[in-house]
């Protein structure tokens, strides 16, 4: 079987399953210095089993031209260079393994330096041990930036940590959204409903994530609506004051006339 230690894909290399082949391709990309994609996966129409996979460089293909008439507000950097690097694996039903049937390893673009490979999307991972350390530091009142700096120093540099400060903040945000107790959410909703009973002008809106957990909350009372009528010529969204201890940002709409 193909070993992860063998960093060069070759025709004839074998894997136990498609996940092992994909993991090998991800690690090979991180070792060489390019990000990867799973271009397509073909399944059998008879039993639904995977018959072949095509793994490519993230620069594969050409970006489609925009169909909109107006100029976009933000122009994204061009990352597709029609790179032909790929590895195709096919399933052998008799031997019950996946075999590499086609390989092309010639890139038409510059590769990442070893010092920046840890910033590639699929190379940034937070292990279970790292997640526990992040959560302990946060529970102790240590800000994410400070705890991330400590982790970088302990690992001998930020390129050895395996994740960025943004990844750490996203992990904490996701953890808090999942652990928000029903009592907390229920108490908040009861408070909003009581406010509506006191004054029907009070309004609120909840935004849920893909797992039906509360992600964002917006509310406005009667005084805010009145203030908006007088100071609504220019409205800004102010979050410069930072966040609370739960790392939940609180934004204020500030109006000027």
Work out the average pLDDT over 79-90.
91
Position 70 in a domain: no
Please, what's the b/e burial string for 166-199 (b: 16 or more CB within 10 A of its CB; e: otherwise)?
Answer: ebbbebbeeeeeeeeeeeeeeebeeebeebeeee
Q: Band of the pLDDT at 2, cuts 50, 70, 90? A: very low
Number of domains present in the structure of the chain: 3
173 and 134 housed in the same domain: yes
How many whole angstroms separate alpha carbon 186 and alpha carbon 239? 26
Question: Which pLDDT belongs to residue 68?
Answer: 57
Region for 32 from its dihedrals, namely left if φ exceeds 0, alpha if ψ lies in -120 to 50, beta otherwise? alpha
25 and 108 housed in the same domain: yes
Query: Could you tell me which of 85, 83, 99 has the C-alpha nearest to residue 1?
Result: 99
- Are 118 and 29 in contact, with CB atoms under 8 Å apart? no
Does the pLDDT at position 197 exceed 70?
Answer: yes
Question: Which pLDDT belongs to residue 206?
Answer: 84
Host domain of residue 174? 124-179
Position 72 in a domain: no
Give the residue from 141, 159, 179 where a domain finishes: 179
Winning range, highest mean pLDDT, from 68-72, 124-128, 133-137 = 133-137
104 and 49 housed in the same domain: yes
Q: Which letter does DSSP use for residue 65 in this model? A: P
Question: What pTM was estimated for this model as a whole?
Answer: 0.58
50 and 117 housed in the same domain: yes
**φ, ψ (nearest 5 deg) of residue 31:** -70, -40
């Amino acid at each position: 079987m193909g070993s992860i230690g063998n960093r060069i894909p070759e025709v004839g290399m074998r894997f136990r399953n498609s996940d092992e082949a994909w993991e090998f391709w991800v690690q090979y990309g991180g070792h060489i210095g390019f990000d990867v994609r799973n271009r397509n996966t073909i399944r059998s129409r008879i039993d639904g089993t995977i018959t072949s996979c095509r793994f490519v460089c993230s620069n594969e293909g050409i970006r489609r031209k925009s169909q909109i008439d107006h100029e976009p507000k933000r122009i994204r950097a061009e990352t597709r260079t029609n790179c032909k690097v790929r590895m195709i694996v096919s399933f052998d039903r008799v031997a019950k393994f996946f075999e590499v049937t086609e390989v092309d390893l010639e890139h038409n673009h510059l590769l990442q330096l070893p010092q920046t490979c840890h910033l590639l999307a699929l190379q940034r991972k937070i292990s279970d041990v790292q997640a526990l350390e992040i959560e302990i530091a946060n529970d102790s009142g240590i800000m994410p930036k400070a705890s991330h700096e400590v982790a970088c120093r302990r690992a001998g540099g930020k390129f050895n940590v395996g994740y960025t400060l943004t990844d750490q903040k996203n992990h904490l945000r996701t953890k808090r959204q999942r652990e928000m107790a029903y009592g907390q959410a229920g108490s908040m909703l009861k408070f909003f409903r009581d406010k509506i009973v006191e004054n029907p002008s009070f309004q609120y809106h909840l935004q849920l994530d893909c797992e039906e957990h509360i992600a964002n909350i917006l509310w406005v009372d009667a005084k805010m609506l009145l203030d908006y009528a007088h100071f609504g010529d220019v409205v800004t969204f102010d979050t410069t004051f930072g966040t609370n201890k739960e790392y939940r940002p609180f934004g204020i709409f500030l109006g000027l006339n």
